[in-house]
Amino acid sequence: MVGFCMVYLSSSAQENSSKLWTSVEYKTQLNKRWDAEFAQLFRMKDDLDNVDSHITEAAFFYSPKKRWKIGGELRYQYRNDTKGGIQGFENMIRYRFNLEKKFKIPHGNLALRLGYQNRVSLDRENRKKQRWRFRPSYEWKIKNWQLDPKFYFEYLETLNSNTAERAFRYGIGSKFKWGKGATVGFRYIFEHNQEMYEVDQNHHILALKISFEKPKKKKKKDKDSTSEKDSK
């Protein structure tokens, strides 16, 4: 929390802008070990004056054991370049791999996630951006309260750049149930970008997500046990 305040107070001497991230997501459990997610995202930038990107993505997750998760994600991004050498929209593909471990701690849940990603342009040669990212998060479970807050910190570092580009994200969010099988999530994220030869940038991001989840099938054991009870 102290680090969040220090970064925020220092933002007055740097470039600042606001962004809006929205997404609609569908989740389904393929079997006991595998899950899948499909999402459509739309993002605005430059104080909501310009479209940032249209994104379509698919992700698959494997749970080798309890509280462990290995994930792979493929994303198509139609990205609007408003600051680079070539202006306009660009077709890009990004793939990412994650390893996540969850822990039960007093009053909540802690999750540690480590990931690697590579974004490649389909329109220009030799244009790619590799990053590794580390994100701890803590979900605070409050008794008799539906909007349990979740706190985030994420560190991102570019691997194939001479500018030593780094990003720090600090966030807080929550979610609530909406109808049957759907949830609405919302987050505020403060992002601080550092580049060796350019002015540091700060972004205030509001993220909104609607998630739909396929109802899980009841286990056969439950059906068999109920039929046995009825027969008795």
Instruction: List, as one string, the DSSP characters of 114-134.
Output: EEEEEEEESSSTT-EEEEEEE
Q: What is the pLDDT of residue 82?
A: 85
Instruction: Return the sign of the alpha-carbon dihedral for residues 155, 160, 165, 171.
Output: negative
Contact 7, 168 (CB under 8 A): yes
Instruction: With H, G, I as helix, E, B as strand and everything else as coil, classify residue 61.
Output: strand
- Measured from the Cβ of residue 43, the count of other Cβ atoms closer than 10 Å reads 20
How many domains does the structure of the chain reveal? 1
Burial 177-202 (b: 16+ CB within 10 A, else e): eeeeeebebebebbbbbbeeeeeebb
What tokens were used for 7? 């970064």
Q: Strand locations in 30-127, DSSP E?
A: 34-45, 50-62, 68-81, 88-105, 108-121
What is the pairing mode between strands 108-121 and 128-140?
antiparallel
Domain that holds residue 61: 2-231
Radius of gyration of the chain (CA): 20
Q: What is the pLDDT of residue 7?
A: 45
**pLDDT tens-digit map of 62-90:** 999 999 999 999 999 999 988 766 688 99
**pLDDT tens-digit map of 117-150:** 999 999 988 889 999 999 999 999 998 888 999 9
Residue 10 has pLDDT above 50, yes or no: no
CATH of the domain at 26: 2.40.160
Gap between the Cα atoms of 117 and 199, Å rounded: 24
Gap between the Cα atoms of 70 and 111, Å rounded: 13
